[in-house]
Structure formats: C-alpha cells, structure tokens
Chains A and B, each alone.
Chain A
Amino acid sequence: MEPIQCLTGKAAVMDRSNVDTDQIIPKQFLKRIERTGFGEFLFYDWRYDEKGNERADFELNKPESKGANILIAGDNFGCGSSREHAPWSLYDYGFQAVIAPSFADIFKNNCLKNGMLPIALSSEDVSRLMKAAEEPGHQLTVDLPNQTVTDNKGFQASFDIHPYWKEMLVNGWDEISITLQYDEQIRQHEQKDQVVSSY
C-alpha cells in the first residue's frame, strides 16, 4: 500500500443517500480474479446507457467532475454487499478519498485496507462542500496527519480516524506482516481455546 499524507484535488459530487455497492460495481463485473482494472466498470449501470454510451446526466459524466480524485456523497455510502471490488473500482477510477456524512461499516473497512480514505463529516459540512465544489476552480485538500479537510475558499473541518488506521495509512504498512508479529499471542490463544471449544 502507498503511504498517504496529503491529498489535493478536485471533488466530484454525488448527492444521493444509501448508494449501495451493487451500484458502485454491478455484479456482472465481479467475476475477475484480479484486484485491478475495475475502474472502467465503476457505477456501470448509472454511467452508461444500453448502448454503452455515457449518460450525460450522470454525476460523474459531467465535464466538471472529470479528473476528480475526491468523491463527496450522501449518507450511508457503500451499503449492501461486502464486495471489496467497490473500493477497488473507485480507486482504480481515480478516487483517493470519499467524503460523506456516514459510511456502511464493511465498506469503510474495505476502503482503509486499500489506501482510500472514507471521511465522515457532519451533514452540514458535506452540504457546504457539495455547494462549494460546484464553483469553478474549487480545490480540496485532505490532510491525514492533521485530520483536516480544507478548500481554497475558506472551508475547514476536522475528521476522526482510529489512530491504528492512521498509522497504517500514513506509513503504508502491510497489516498482515504486523499481525504476524503477534504469532506468540495467537498460539497461546489457540492452546487456551482448545480447552474452551474443543468439541
């Protein structure tokens, strides 16, 4: 995983609640056995019409959303299926962070494991950012070490992230290698566990 410090760039706005992972990456694209190359299928059914042409009214197809690296979305983003293909496709498309009032639990974890930041801000802050992002020349900055979101128009907010995840992301560590250092504790638990549930 690449270490993350500061992200600066353009935001795309998706003002919808309860965007589910079936929409983020429809099931017909889950059959690949690689982690990469999912970006072209992101939001497929919303993004393209039956003939495979871009739908002009879909948020990400608007000219002002092209090239965005931060997505601002509504409540409960990423609900539904646990498919990690959802953050893979968002990341592959070019998003490095999603800002929303709330996230579904599994989706949030899946983002963190892939170096993509799920940032929860208050509904008011998210609405303000959605408006601000419509202004030409708008730029957002997400500062992970300082846990802040700022823009070039004077917006400022801070966000929460568990210190464990922050450390992991800032350093770009591989979680499994860290856990393997606890081998002794795992072994001890397995011995104790044999007594408790050896049935």
Chain B
Amino acid sequence: MRIANITAILGMALVTYLTRIAGFWFAGRLGQSGSLIRRMKYVPCAVLAAIVAPLMAMGGLAEWSGIVVSMLIMILTRNFLLSLVASVLTVVLFR
C-alpha cells in the first residue's frame, strides 16, 4: 500500500462522513419547527428525480419500457420488489 493512495482514501472517507452528518446537525440547529424543515417535504422526491433523470434520458426503448412498468406497478401496488423484478424482466425481454 502506498502513502499517497492511503491519504486520498482517508481524505475521501473524512469529507464523505462530514457531508453525511452536516445536514442533520445543521437542521437541528435551526429548530424542529423551523420553516426549512417543513419545506423539506418535497426534497426526497426531487433528489430521486434528479438522480434518475439523466439515467432515464440515456435509455432506449427497452429501458423506457422498464421504467414505465416499474413506475406503474409501484403506483398501483406499492410493492417495491414486484416493481423491480417486473421491470428488469421487461428490459431483458425487450433486449
């Protein structure tokens, strides 16, 4: 193991843990009933949409079929496992 590699890895580990605790800690400083906390309601779906949008944009017919199946099943049944398995199978079939 080389010292430069270890330094980079340990530095990555430190800043990553800091990002994981910073938002939680900061939101606590603002108080439980702060308006920022109430505004957080739509952040989870916004983050998820932002993560997946560029991935969806790269997809072809097979991927889009899978995406539609995945979302429809989730909306209709709320069954995460069923949605995942059915959408992956859809993509494999279309390919």
Asked if chains A and B come from one complex, the reply is no
**A-to-B contact residues, CB < 8 Å:** none
**B-to-A contact residues, CB < 8 Å:** none
